[in-house]
Amino acid sequence: MSVFAAADPAAPDAPRSLNAEVERLADEQAVLRRRLVTDADAVRRQVVRDLHDGTQQRLVQAIITLKLAVRALRANDANAERLVCDALEQAQNANLELRELAHGILPQVLIRGGLRAGVEAVVDRLDLPVQVHVRSERFATEIEASAYFIVAEALTNVVKHANASRAEVTAAAEGDALVVQIRDDGIGGADVESDGLMGLRDRSTALGGRLTVKSPPGEGTVVTAVLPARAPGPGPAARRGSESRA
């Protein structure tokens, strides 16, 4: 027997409206399922980016320092032991940051001190003169986090690829935007389609911002991110920021 057979004959269009309701619910369910998949994808991509722009950078520093230590050991250079100790400390920091990220928590220095403290902590770990012009004002958690990871990856790129003698980081609110810029005086010629820089671009656009890279060969590199100074609505990234990472 059809489920519609018991419908009230006094309401002749009841089967039709029941059908419509079933269809509406099915549509709604499909939309919800799609949204769940997209939200899960967005969160996964965010975790991948945080790992790349955060912890991986600490490990890159440890590897660079260990390479210097090997060179020093081979040359019987007295600095070898200090370099190994530095590398150990960098690896321990990486481990700490990985544990924090695995628990969905941002680096403590960023949570407590905001963008300025976060940038200073990144710069302190580098063997490169970097001028920092970042005011101590606070922004929404996910904006500070994105700005921090952009600075971390861009400065790691400078150390890895630029052969620069110096770099500079500026971050300042301009109207409704937070403008973050990392510049170096190195060899330029960055490949903007490569994963690391594409990740920074995705990170910025996910927040409703944008990122540009100017890197003419021989003329240094300038990475500029323009992020909304206020947090966007409660998308997946924003929810993750306010629920589990603050």
Ligand X SMILES: Nc1ncnc2c1ncn2[C@@H]1O[C@H](COP(=O)(O)OP(=O)(O)OP(=O)(O)O)[C@@H](O)[C@H]1O
Report the residue from 38, 92, 194, 244 that binds ligand X according to the rule CB under 6 A.
Answer: 194
Instruction: Give me the helices (H) in the chain, please.
Output: 14-50, 56-74, 80-102, 108-124, 141-157, 195-206, 236-240
Q: Is 157 near Mg ion (CB under 5 A)?
A: yes
Piece in contact with ligand X (CB under 6 A), picked from 43-51, 98-106, 141-149, 154-162: 154-162
- Tell the residue number behind the tokens 């409703």, with chain if given: 208
Size of the site for ligand X (CB under 6 A): 17
Stretch that binds ligand X, among 13-21, 75-83, 99-107, 156-164 (CB under 6 A): 156-164
Q: How far is the CB of 165 from ligand X (least distance, A)?
A: 12
Q: How far is residue 239's CA from residue 231's CA, in Å, rounded to a whole number?
A: 10
Q: Is 13 helix (H, G, I), strand (E, B) or coil?
A: coil
CA dist., res. 99 & res. 96, Å (int)? 5
Tokens of 34: 């799609």
Give the binding range for ligand X (CB under 6 A) out of 115-123, 133-141, 194-202, 203-211: 194-202
Which residues does residue 182 pair with via DSSP β-bridges, in sequence order? 169, 223
Q: Which is nearer to ligand X, 23 or 191 (CB)?
A: 191
Answer yes or no whether residue 90 interacts with Mg ion by CB under 5 A.
no
Q: Which amino acid is at 6?
A: A
Distance of CA 215 to the CA centre of its chain: 21
Least separation in angstroms between residue 121's CB and ligand X is 20
Residues that bind ligand X (CB under 6 A): 157-158, 160-162, 184, 186-191, 194-197, 221
Residues that bind Mg ion (CB under 5 A): 157, 196
